[in-house]
Structure 1
């Protein structure tokens, strides 16, 4: 059965949808203490870049892109003839993915999904290891989605973080969304949490300013 579903509804409301429709933002993830991280909406809405392609080349079999956003990875996979499905709570994200030639559904990772237990590769890119604010619960859910020898590729923070905070989406112009939990993990924290949930790290790499970890069920 799917894991209990944490609150993720902020990702299908303004200002996130508005930022994706415009293709450029600005959009911030603002913490309760007032500090903010600018989200890379323009990069998300562009074609897959060189760092993204290091992920695409490592994908095996059928691919589930969790929190696919506007679908650049799903589209890049489709262009290579690789079967892939993106899931995202944002109608604007799903619409952009489909217009670009990818396949996407408006779903949460904690919903029942097509192909539960049969995905060869799962992706948690652009910080999506933070979905739900509980990376351990997310890792348990992904273990239910992939095949017994399946592959998970996650993008991590560069710094050695293991942090959860209450945040809201903010467009910097006075529009903000509901408060929800989010998490940030660096490579060592991901490896530690993954080992506790029955995953093993098989590869770590950097591309530009971004860092990635590949894992398989232990």
Structure 2
């Protein structure tokens, strides 16, 4: 269950870790128009782009408005509906299931920390390698330096369901080693304000 399906749009919500730690989620940024830092991702997409974990579709819609063919995928029916409302195309789909255009996407977006999907970044990047064309790129949003790679059990709060799932976080200093373990190499990394990004090229 996602923040969007639980009706938490416009409300404060966070991830509660098994340790009791709390990680606030920037739901307002996800549902707004593209903001500072998003241009790093958008400007790097010059061809067909797959937005994994598209949420309410701010990036998918922005690419569509720029004339870039794009498709959002998300496990949340509400997120897909919100993406459609922005005039963009999205499918309710788990990225590990069959995805249209496999092996032909020029770019893949893993924005807003979506490198953590499934709690296993090497597995996710290996799957992404199956989705993009040779020479394609993955645009990844990362945690600040010093975080390394972290995995934990989390649950969404406030949420009366409270189901636990696994998530991961990757610090910018860890992405080169992670890329080397899969099918990628880091072509660049950058910072915009408090946000960090990297571009991975399929080797």
Provide the TM-score with structure 2 as the length reference.
0.95
Q: Secondary structure at the match of 1:166?
A: strand
1:193 aligns with 2:178: yes
Cα deviation per residue 1:27-71 (whole Å; 9 max; x = unaligned)? 111101111101000110000113111210111210000000000
1:115 aligns with 2:101: yes
Distance, in Å, in 1 between the alignment partners of 2:76 and 2:40 is 26
5+ unaligned residues in a row in structure 2: which ranges? none
Aligned to 1:6: none
Aligned to 2:28: 42
Q: Secondary structure at the match of 2:16?
A: strand
Contact 1:72/1:97 (CA < 8 Å) preserved in 2?
yes
Query: Please, which of 134, 143, 154 is the counterpart of residue 129 of structure 2?
Result: 143
5+ unaligned residues in a row in structure 1: which ranges? 1-9
Distance, in Å, in 1 between the alignment partners of 2:89 and 2:146 is 34
**How far off is 1:25 after superposition?**
2.4
1:170 aligns with 2:157: yes
Aligned to 2:192: 207
Cα deviation per residue 1:69-97 (whole Å; 9 max; x = unaligned)? 00000010011111000000111100110
Query: How is 1:88-167 mapped onto 2 (pairs within 5 angstroms)?
Result: 88-161=74-147, 162-167=149-154
**How far off is 1:16 after superposition?**
3.9
Contact 1:29/1:39 (CA < 8 Å) preserved in 2?
yes
Q: After the TM superposition, which parts of structure 1 deviate over 2 Å for at least 4 consecutive aligned residues?
A: 174-177
Distance, in Å, in 2 between the alignment partners of 1:139 and 1:160 is 21
Q: CA RMSD in A?
A: 1.3
**How far off is 1:23 after superposition?**
3.0
**How far off is 1:217 after superposition?**
1.3
**How far off is 1:114 after superposition?**
0.3
Q: Which has the higher contact order (CA 8 A, sep 6+)?
A: 1
Aligned to 1:18: 6
Distance, in Å, in 2 between the alignment partners of 1:96 and 1:52 is 19
Provide the TM-score with structure 1 as the length reference.
0.89
For these two proteins, the number of residue pairs brought into alignment is 202
